[in-house]
Amino acid sequence: MATVVQLLDEAMALSAAEREELAAHLLDSVEAPPGISIDDHAELERRAAEARGGAPGVSWADVKRALKT
């Protein structure tokens, strides 16, 4: 059986699109972290699609500033 390191090496040899698909399958195979519900899935998918499409995001500086207020 392959080790995690071997699998990672093989995964990193995949194209970016293939790695994205693999990551999506792996994430779908585990339970959502506490605080994330299945209802959030559509919103997460929408935001991911926007990011992949090149939509501008929020800068880290803006996020930190918002958290402080």
Query: Which of 33, 41, 3 lies closest to 11, judged by CA?
Result: 3
Q: How far apart are CA 22 and CA 19, in angstroms?
A: 5
Dihedrals phi, psi of 35, to nearest 5 degrees: 95, -10
Task: Specify the pTM.
Answer: 0.49
| Mean pLDDT value of segment 6-27 | 92
Question: And the tokens for 43?
Answer: 């919103």
pLDDT of 30-64, one tens digit each?
887 787 777 787 888 888 888 888 888 888 999 99
Burial 15-30 (b: 16+ CB within 10 A, else e): eeeeeeeeeeeeeeee
| Mean pLDDT value of segment 1-25 | 92
